[in-house]
């Protein structure tokens, strides 16, 4: 609206200098809004409507061009604002469901170590269905890879909030793996990572030996031991990257996970205070096996 008033005043002043009959942009807009841009009689109709002499036909053309430019500028501003707003919406990471009744995952949460391990079969499929409305813990697929360094991937439906934006006293987002290494259907090791650290933005990383109860953990950088990782925080959500949690073991660590035939599953969860409100296991029922 400010740009329109400025253009109107500028055209009025210019027309006075040209000794033309005063023209009001409001009238011009009313005429042009009902007229096709391809109408060859537009100039003549404006002259008749506004009383501008034929001698000033050039002036009218300038007026029309000015109006078209104003319309284009206005459209660009509106479109630009719309696109910026959409970009802002798309770049905002979906917040966790704390304080809401967000649906839980399809499988009941029984903790990091599931209670039905003895009945879990081997599963071939690495993909996982949608289980929870909170995309930051909804696992899409899970698998193991061995290029130059063995690692395990947990692909998520969307990016979680950055750890730096979360108060760990209120919200803890967690990812992990459970390994069964002896073939007895009893979990042996738990590997995990979450934002439950004294300083926002740091991570707590741990490996627990369930047989002995011993836990090795690292809180805050530098990381690498007892398990190395790549967190979704380290990826750029608006660059087309997938939201992926990666675990890997550096040389001399994690030998239990590197054995052929080791079985495992993944989990992801978000806790609000002491309550786990959303979670996912992958697979929902069963083990995956390390080749």
Q: Mean of the pLDDT values across residues 137-162?
A: 88
Do 83 and 151 lie in one domain? The reply is no
Query: Is residue 173 assigned to a domain?
Result: yes
One domain for residues 138 and 196: yes
**Domain identity same for 147 and 261:** yes
Please compute the mean of the pLDDT values over residues 18-34 and round it to a whole number.
43
123 and 15 part of one domain:
no
Which residues span the domain enclosing 82? Answer: 2-91
Mean pLDDT of 113-119: 88
Determine the average pLDDT of the residues in 222-239. 83
Asked, for residue 108, whether it belongs to a domain, the answer is no
| Strand, helix or coil for residue 120 | coil
* Nearest in space to 180 (alpha carbons), one of 286, 283, 262, 291: 262
104 belongs to a structural domain: no
Is residue 148 in some structural domain? yes
| 86 and 121 co-located in one domain | no
112: in domain: no
Please report, for the chain, how many H helices and E strands are present, in that order: 4, 11
- Whether 73 and 150 map to the same domain: the answer is no
Q: Where are the beta strands (DSSP E) in 139-214?
A: 139-146, 150-156, 171-180, 189-194, 204-209
- Cβ atoms of residues 217 and 204 within 8 Å: yes
CA–CA separation, 115 and 110 (whole Å):
7
Match 């987002």 to its residue by tokens. 173
Residue at 252 is within a domain: yes
Q: For 285, how many CA atoms within 13 A lie in the half-sphere containing its CB?
A: 7
Indicate the average pLDDT of the chain.
75
For residues 52 and 236, the model is more confident at 236
Cα dist from 225 to 206, 207, 284, whole Å: 9, 9, 29
Count the domains in the chain. 2
- Has residue 79 got a pLDDT over 80? no
Judge contact between 21 and 50, C-beta under 8 A: yes
Q: Looking at the predicted structure, is the pLDDT value of residue 287 above 70?
A: yes
Do 129 and 168 reside in the same domain of the chain?
yes
Question: In the numeric block, which tokens belong to residue 91?
Answer: 């770049």
Structure confidence by residue, pLDDT tens digits, 235-248? 755 556 789 999 99
């Amino acid at each position: 609206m400010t740009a329109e008033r400025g253009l109107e005043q500028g055209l009025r002043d210019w027309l006075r200098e040209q000794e033309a009959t005063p023209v009001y942009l409001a009238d011009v807009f009313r005429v042009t809004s009902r007229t096709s841009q391809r109408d060859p009689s537009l100039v003549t109709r404006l002259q008749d409507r506004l009383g501008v002499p034929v001698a000033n036909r050039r002036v009218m053309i300038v007026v029309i061009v000015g109006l078209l430019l104003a319309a284009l500028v206005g459209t660009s501003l509106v479109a630009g604002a719309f696109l910026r707003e959409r970009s802002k919406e798309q770049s905002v990471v979906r917040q966790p469901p704390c304080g809401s009744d967000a649906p839980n995952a399809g499988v009941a949460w029984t903790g990091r170590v599931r209670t039905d391990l003895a009945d879990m079969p081997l599963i071939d499929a690495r993909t996982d269905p949608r289980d929870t409305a909170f995309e930051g813990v909804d696992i899409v697929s899970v698998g193991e890879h061995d290029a130059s360094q063995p690692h395990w991937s947990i692909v998520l439906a969307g990016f979680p909030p950055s750890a730096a934006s979360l108060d760990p006293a209120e919200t803890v987002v967690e990812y992990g793996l459970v390994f069964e290494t002896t073939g007895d259907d009893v979990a042996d090791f738990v590997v995990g990572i979450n934002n439950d650290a004294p300083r926002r933005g740091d991570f707590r990383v741990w490996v627990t030996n369930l047989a002995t109860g011993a836990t090795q953990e690292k809180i805050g950088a530098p990381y690498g031991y007892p398990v190395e990782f790549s967190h979704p925080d380290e990826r750029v959500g608006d660059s087309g990257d997938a939201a992926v949690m990666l675990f890997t073991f550096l040389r001399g660590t994690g030998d239990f996970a590197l054995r052929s035939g080791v079985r495992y599953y993944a989990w992801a969860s978000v806790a609000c205070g002491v309550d786990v409100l959303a979670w996912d296991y992958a697979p929902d029922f069963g083990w995956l096996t390390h080749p």
